Copies of this chain bind each other. A is one copy, B any other.
Amino acid sequence: MNRIDGGITAPKGFIAGGLCCGIKNGVSDLGILVSQGESSAAGTFTTNLVKAAPVLVSSQQISRGKNRAVVVNSGNANACTGERGMKDAWQMVEETAATLRINPQEVLVCSTGIIGEPLPIDKIKKGIHELGPQLSPKGNKAFAQAILTTDKNTKEVALEVPTSQGTFRVGGAAKGAGMVHPHMATMLAFITTDLEIVPPTLQRCLKEAVELSFNRISIDGDTSTNDTALILANSASGLKGEGKNLQAFQEAIKEVCKTLASMMVKDGEGATKAVKIMVKGSSSPKDGEKAARRLANSLLVKTALYGEDPNWGRLMAALGSSGCLVDPLRVKVWIGDTQVVQGGEGMPGAEEKAHRIMKQRGYTITLDLGLGSHEYWIWTCDLSYNYIRINAEYRS
């Protein structure tokens, strides 16, 4: 498995592009990704009960698993927009199909941005027809740019996977910087591969990879109205996704999703730290998850990370209120490789060493509950002044 350039258009047979159609002022806001041949598709969508129009449309479109194109706009989420929103999302599908000369059933649609305002659909329609002829195998960067909102950086990755029968590729692009609670609050991820895979298998592989990546940075079960992860698999590599090829693909898609997720954490709104919270020794898997998510979501923990303060008391307090079974006398805590808590009490002299570790941009906090053999991990980031600035001033 080798890291290569090219993002979502690294796999053979995919073209993409992006441009500014005028939703955002002078900033790229419309992207299209398409497989030149037929492709399988799979997707996971937000569990939020308030679902944006494009989520409803794409969920319906993907039910047969036979989609080859995605149109995405940023700057406007097309959420809480009623019947007009649904009509607009369908229009995006139809105009994209028209410009690409494919069947409308093959097109998926995503939006991200402000909730509750109607799309400037005429600008978007014009943009789609302008963008169609510009799509190219080198359009990955323009696409990755077009889907961003408050992200500081584009998020792209591609892998080449050699097998005994030849080589296939997996590419990805994503947006999402608001990992505290996903901002406005959307995480979008697009994955491509030139391996031939049937839709049910593709769906299973995507779900597994999402669980170990994007679901490990979405804190507290919070999901946006628009969260979506999509994968398109054409067969341009000439390889079939079976046996060892499929195993290799499962590894590759996990790696692609983890890489994109870690890019989101590092780009967290106003974040200066990316910290892995590892909870070991819980008496059940669910308990470990509860504890990890509570710690990752605690404002007191997150401000301590920002302040580079080895305040293990806040970790203990969050742990005790997580709903996870805890016996304080059995708890051990490490910051990086420095143990700061033993039997629920502080280790003398450990705080200075821990403080030095917390000056790093990334490290792991490990809690061993001493009650069982289960473990769960999650990524979090710190809470800084800039988070407040970005989110208090987002619309003004």
Contact = CB atoms under 8 A, between A and B. Distances in A.
Interface of A: 47-51, 77, 79-82, 114-117, 178, 180-181, 183-185, 221-225, 298-300, 303-304, 306-307, 309, 311-314, 316-321, 323, 325-328, 341, 343-346, 383-385, 387-389, 391-396
A223 to B, nearest CB: 5
Given A82-B343, A82-B344, A221-B321, A300 B49 contact: no
11 contacts: A50-B317, A51-B320, A79-B313, A184-B313, A185-B314, A224-B317, A299-B387, A300-B391, A309-B395, A311-B395, A384-B388
Contacts of A117: 346
Given A312-B116, A328-B49, A346 B80 contact: yes
A392 B50 contact: no
A338 to B, nearest CB: 15
A344 B304 contact: no
A364 to B, nearest CB: 20
B47 A115 contact: no
B307 A80 contact: no
Total copies of this chain within the assembly: 2
Given A48-B317, A80-B344, A185-B314, 6 more contacts: A49-B320, A184-B314, A224-B317, A225-B313, A311-B394, A385-B389
B328 A50 contact: yes
Given A304-B391, A345-B81, A50 B396 contact: no
A80 B300 contact: no
Contacts of A77: 313
A196 to B, nearest CB: 36
Contact of A48 (B114, B224, B321): B321
Nearest to A340: B116
Nearest to A81: B345
Contact of A396 (B225, B307, B325, B385): B307
Contacts of A387: 299, 303, 388
A372 to B, nearest CB: 15
Nearest to A298: B181
A299 B385 contact: no
